[in-house]
Structure formats: C-alpha cells, structure tokens
C-alpha cells in the first residue's frame, strides 16, 4: 500500500477489516488474464492475497509495496515482495504486464509520474491492468467526514482527502499521454458491504482525517461521522454498505 499522511498499514488490522479489498479483486485479475511464464509487476501488492492468484496462473511475479509490514506479510506467503516507493520504481523494460488493485488511488501527489514509471517498467507492448477508486468513490463518506471536521473547527477539510479518484476521461488522457493505448476502461458503481461496520472502515482507511482531531475527541468525532452516514449507508438490520466506484482499465504500451 502507499501511505497518505498518518496512514500506516498494519497487516493484521488490514486482514481483519479490509480483506474485502482483495476478495473483490477477481475482475481485474480476469482483465489481466495472466499467462504461464509471464513476468508481472504487482504495484501495491499489500499482503499478497491477489499476487498469489497471479502466481497460481503460472506467472513470475514481483510485488512492490511502500509498507514494510505489508511486504513482510507478502513474503510470508512466499512472494518476491519488495519495499519500494511507487514514485521511484527501479525497473526498466522488464515486465510483460503490470497489475494493480486498490493502490493507485493512494498515489495522489503525481499520477503521471506513477504511470510513466510503470510504462518504463514494461517491455514494449506490455500491458497494464488496474483497478482503483474512481470519480465519486465513497462520496457520502467524504462529505460526512468534511462536515464533521468543520464542526471540530478544522479549516478546509477537503485538503485532507488522501485519495485520488479520477474520472474515466481524466485517467484515459493520463494513460495516453504516457504512452499507453486503452483497450478497456470503465467507471463501475460497486456498493461494497462492510462486514466490520463503518467505524472500523473509518479507522482503517480515514486516518488522515481522524489524526487531525485531538486524541481525546476522536471517539466522539467517529460517533458523529457514523451517525451522519447511518441514514444513507446502513440498512434496517444494521448492515453497512460503502458507496464505492471503481475505475477498471486495461492498456497496452505503445
């Protein structure tokens, strides 16, 4: 995983509260269609749950991640996982494909630099299959977090949004200007059940917002955000569903 300010990844917490992220990753594995013997780079491999699927298809895979804890967890699965900053990838024309699930939206600072680094890592004609949060992803959650932060007198809370959720048009243009040809791209609504509930989701993914609040007020802050979201995202049985939008694409290096 890539880190936003204050966002630290912990493999056991992730396994407990965010396993759905890799569980729901099969469509982008299918889009990649990994082949035996291919060399594949898994960008933001996390604890390697999806990397294992690429290996099971017979591919030779290197996983990279910016979290030492996640790299350790991936290595424990026997994966060749390396601690690496996605902005400084060390690969040149050596992969048949790049794969990335639920990682690119954490790399908000300079998406073009990320795409250019991946293009350099690919052999000519190599493919890039990715899925990330897309425009409108967790919009209700973002509005509730910002509204609650304003009540806590945090100015301009939108500056704390750690995610990059592009439109289809914007990401297409970025891929094309960095040397890719689009084979497929779609923005897909994917309401996502949160088995651990909204509070755990916030504690896992919304750390940059929570850390702005004084420690002794964080619990009431989370109560307030959860109460604001309850009418929109929680059903009568107390089951939470987050308003995810996915941007899924397959592109080929020109």
Number of residues that bind ligand BEZ (CB under 6 A): 8
Report the residue from 4, 11, 21, 70 that binds ligand BEZ according to the rule CB under 6 A.
21
Q: Which of 54, 81, 118, 137 binds ligand BEZ (CB under 6 A)?
A: 137
State the residue for tokens 């750690």.
162
Q: Taking phi first (over 0 means left), then psi (-120 to 50 degrees means alpha), and beta for anything else, what does residue 102 get?
A: left
Q: Does 117 bind ligand BEZ (CB under 6 A)?
A: no
Distance from first CA to last CA of the chain, Å, rounded?
28
Which is closer to ligand BEZ, CB of 34 or CB of 46? 46
Answer yes or no whether residue 102 interacts with ligand BEZ by CB under 6 A.
yes
Burial 226-248 (b: 16+ CB within 10 A, else e): bebbeeebbeeeeebebbbbbbb
Q: Which of 50, 138, 175, 251 binds ligand BEZ (CB under 6 A)?
A: 138
The correct pick among 63, 111, 126, 133 for binding ligand BEZ (CB under 6 A) is: 133
Q: Report how far residue 232's alpha carbon sits from residue 220's, in angstroms, rounded to the nearest whole number.
A: 20
Strands 39-43 and 80-83: unpaired
- Stretch touching ligand BEZ by CB under 6 A, among 78-86, 89-97, 121-129, 131-139: 131-139
Contacting ligand BEZ within 27-66 (CB under 6 A)? none
Stretch that binds ligand BEZ, among 37-45, 115-123, 133-141, 178-186 (CB under 6 A): 133-141
Binding mask 167-206 for ligand BEZ (x = CB under 6 A): --------------------------------------x-
Task: Give 93's Cβ-side CA count (13 Å radius).
Answer: 3
Distance CA 142, CA 147 (A): 9
Q: Considering the complex, what minimum distance in angstroms separates the CB of residue 78 from ligand BEZ?
A: 24
Asked if 138 contacts 242 with a C-beta cutoff of 8 angstroms, the reply is yes
Q: Which residues bind ligand BEZ (CB under 6 A)?
A: 21, 102, 133, 137-138, 163, 205, 244
């Amino acid at each position: 995983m890539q880190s936003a300010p204050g966002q630290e990844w912990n493999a056991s917490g992730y396994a407990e509260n965010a396993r759905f992220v890799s569980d729901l990753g099969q469509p982008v594995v299918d889009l990649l269609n990994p082949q035996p013997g291919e060399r594949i780079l898994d960008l933001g491999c996390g604890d390697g749950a999806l990397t294992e699927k690429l290996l099971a298809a017979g591919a030779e895979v290197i996983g990279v991640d910016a979290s030492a804890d996640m790299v350790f967890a991936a290595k424990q699965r026997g994966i060749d996982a390396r601690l690496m900053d996605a902005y400084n990838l060390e690969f040149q024309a050596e992969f048949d494909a790049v794969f990335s699930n639920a990682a690119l939206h954490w790399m908000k600072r300079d998406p073009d630099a990320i795409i250019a680094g991946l293009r350099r890592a690919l052999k000519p004609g190599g493919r890039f299959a990715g899925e990330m949060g897309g425009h409108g992803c967790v919009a209700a959650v973002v509005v509730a977090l910002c509204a609650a932060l304003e009540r806590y007198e945090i100015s301009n809370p939108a500056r704390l949004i750690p995610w990059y959720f592009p439109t289809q048009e914007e990401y297409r243009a970025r891929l094309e200007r960095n040397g890719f040809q689009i084979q497929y791209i779609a923005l897909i609504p994917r309401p996502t059940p949160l088995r651990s509930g909204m509070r755990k989701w916030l504690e896992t993914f919304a750390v940059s917002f929570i850390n702005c609040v004084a420690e002794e007020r964080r619990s009431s802050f989370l109560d307030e955000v959860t109460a604001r979201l309850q009418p929109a995202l929680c059903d009568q049985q107390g089951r939470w569903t987050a308003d995810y939008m996915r941007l899924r694409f397959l592109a080929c290096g020109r």
